[in-house]
Amino acid sequence: MLRIAHISDLHVLDLAGTQWHQFLNKRVTGAMNLAGIRRNAHPVSLAEKLADRLAAGDIDHVILTGDLTNLALDSEFKRVLEVVQRIGPPSFVTVIPGNHDMYTRGALRHHRFEKWFGPYLVDDADEHHSALTKGRLHYPFMRAPAPHVRIYGMSSAIPTPPLLAFGHVGRHQLDRLRQLVAEEPPEVTVRLCLVHHNLHHRIGAAEYVASLVDRKAFSRVMHEIHATAVLHGHTHHPHQGHLPARKAKADATTDRIDEEKLIESEIADLGGDIPVLGCGSSTWSKKGRDLARFNILDIDARGIHAISSMRWSAENAQFELEHQDLLTKAMAGKNAILL
C-alpha cells in the first residue's frame, strides 16, 4: 500500500523586500484582494503545521497542485520553498504550478516558479529532463513514487489579464503525455495526472473567468491514456467528481468532438469512469473557520483503494479525519462531470 497526500493552494504570502514598482501591473488587483477579502485567509503558520503533519512518517509521497504563492514574487517563492522543504526532499514531493505562480508575464518569462522549485520538477525517468529543460518549459514531467505508480505533472498556469484566472494546457503537453505513457514499463498500473485548474463547471462568474479553456481536449486524453485519477487545485472548496466513460474519437487531435458526425470505425470505447478530485485549499482559514483540507489516497497494486479527507481543527490544533470514502462520492452518478 502506498499513501499519497494531496495538498493544494497554500497561497503563502511574504512581501519582504518587495518594491512598490513591482505592483505596477496586474499585482495591483491582487494586492487589493490580499488587503481585503483574502486578508489572513491563508496563514503561513498553518502551512507550517501542515508540513509537519505530512512529514510525520505515515505518508509515502506528497502532491501539491499549485498556487503556492499569491503574486509570484521571489519573496513568496523563497518562503513557500522553506515550507515545501519542511515537508520533505524532492523525492518525497511533487509540485506543479498554479495561475498565481505565473501571475505576471514576467513570472512566466523568467521561469520564476521553475527556477525556485527546480529540484522538485526533475523527471524520474530522465534526470536530464525537468519542467525547465535547456531554458524552456517542458511539461509534463513524470514522477514514480513506486514502480507501479506514475505521476504526471501538467501545467495549466498562464498569466492572464487582471481579474481573470483561466488556464490552458495545450496540445503540446497532451502529445507529450501520450508519449510518456507509451514509454511506460508494463508494471505501471496507476497513472495520476495533475493539473491546477478544475474540470467541473462552477457557479457564477468563475465558470467564465477562471476555467480550464481546453478541458474537453484534456479530458479526452485522460480517457485515451486510461488515467487512474485526475487531481486538481484552484477551487478552494474541495470537489469530487468523475469523467464518465464515453465513446470518444480514438485520435483526439482536435479540440472539438462531434460524435454524431463520426463513423463507427473512428470511435473507440476508451475505458471507465475516471475520478477527478480537488482537495481544496490546505491552508484556508476564513474568518476563523476551519476550511483547510488535504486528501489521502491509499493505493494498492491495482489502483486507488480509498480516498479520505483530513480537515484542520483549530480547537484541537491538528488535522482530523473528515470523510473516509471520497472515492465512492466521486463516482456517484450525480457527480459526473459533463463537459
Q: Which residues bind Fe ion (CB under 5 A)?
A: 67, 98-99, 234
For Fe ion, give the closer residue by CB, 101 or 224.
101
For Fe ion, give the closer residue by CB, 99 or 240.
99
For Fe ion, give the closer residue by CB, 237 or 305.
237
C-alpha torsion 11→114→65→187, nearest 10: -160
Instruction: Work out how close the CB of 272 gets to Fe ion at its nearest, in angstroms, rounded to a whole number.
Output: 29
Q: How far is CA 93 from the centre of its chain?
A: 13
Instruction: Work out how close the CB of 94 gets to Fe ion at its nearest, in angstroms, rounded to a whole number.
Output: 17
For Fe ion, give the closer residue by CB, 138 or 196.
196
Instruction: Work out how close the CB of 185 gets to Fe ion at its nearest, in angstroms, rounded to a whole number.
Output: 34
Cβ atoms of 299 and 305 closer than 8 Å: yes
For Fe ion, give the closer residue by CB, 113 or 123.
113
DSSP character string of 106-122: HHHHTTHHHHHSGGGGB
Non-local (6+) Cβ contacts of 186 within 8 A are: none
3-state secondary structure of 140: coil
Instruction: Work out how close the CB of 326 gets to Fe ion at its nearest, in angstroms, rounded to a whole number.
Output: 21
Instruction: Work out how close the CB of 329 gets to Fe ion at its nearest, in angstroms, rounded to a whole number.
Output: 23
Cβ atoms of 266 and 282 closer than 8 Å: no
Amino acid (1-letter code) at residue 157 = A
Non-local (6+) Cβ contacts of 308 within 8 A are: 295, 296, 298, 321, 322, 323, 324, 325, 326
Give the phi and the psi of residue 87 in degrees, each rounded to 5. -65, -50
Q: What sign does the CA torsion over 268, 202, 153, 174 have?
A: positive
Beta bridge partners of 242: 275, 336
Instruction: Work out how close the CB of 325 gets to Fe ion at its nearest, in angstroms, rounded to a whole number.
Output: 27
For Fe ion, give the closer residue by CB, 7 or 299.
7
For Fe ion, give the closer residue by CB, 157 or 337.
157
Residue 334, all three cell numbers: 450525480
Instruction: Work out how close the CB of 67 gets to Fe ion at its nearest, in angstroms, rounded to a whole number.
Output: 4
Beta bridge partners of 247: 269
Instruction: Work out how close the CB of 2 gets to Fe ion at its nearest, in angstroms, rounded to a whole number.
Output: 27
For Fe ion, give the closer residue by CB, 233 or 241.
233
Q: What sign does the CA torsion over 169, 171, 173, 178 have?
A: positive
Residue with the shortest CB distance to Fe ion: 234
3-state secondary structure of 308: strand
